[in-house]
Amino acid sequence: YVRSVGRSVGRSVGRSGRSVGRSVGRSVVVVVVVVVVVVVRTYVRTYVRTYVVVVVVVVVVVVRTYVRTYVRTYVRTVRYVRYGTVRYGTVRYVRYGTVTLRTVTVRTYVTLRYVTSSLRYVTLRYVTLRYVRTYVRTYVRTYVRTYVRTYVRTYVVRK
């Protein structure tokens, strides 16, 4: 590229030199051709970054059901002694007028009348209580309780 430019310039100068040389004389023409080639490289890089954000929502539903069943049976035996004669037995909760006899062992052939004091845990032998009637009541109570509890808990977990 430089050589071809130099030749073409030299020729044109030579031709014009002849015409100038005729009138003036000889002249030396030095042609310095400086060719500066600037190479500019432009890089255009395009970065495309794609972020994929995955949001995972986990919904956990916990359902708990509690079933509790209570079965209770009460068997209660109450012995009342009123108006009769008790032989060889244990009398509990005896009411004779204003007197309460509790846990009294009563045996026959002894008459107990008009008792005016409370007797507790006293053993009386050969005692006859007049007008005493003995009967037994048995209470049976059965009840069933059922508890049903349901818990619903929701957990949201993001990952």
**Where is mean pLDDT largest: 39-48, 69-78, 120-129, 130-139?**
39-48
β-strand partners of 91: 104
pLDDT at residue number 41: 78
- pLDDT at residue 6 greater than cutoff 60: no
- pLDDT at residue 139 greater than cutoff 70: no
- pLDDT at residue 55 greater than cutoff 60: yes
- pLDDT at residue 13 greater than cutoff 60: no
For residue range 107-132, list pLDDT tens digits in order.
443 444 444 344 444 445 445 444 44
Residue predicted with more confidence, 48 or 95 = 48
pLDDT at residue number 70: 65
DSSP string for residues in 9-50:
HHHHHHHHHHHHHHHT--------------------------
What average pLDDT does range 31-56 have in this prediction? 73
What average pLDDT does range 76-98 have in this prediction? 46
Cα 135 from chain centre: 58
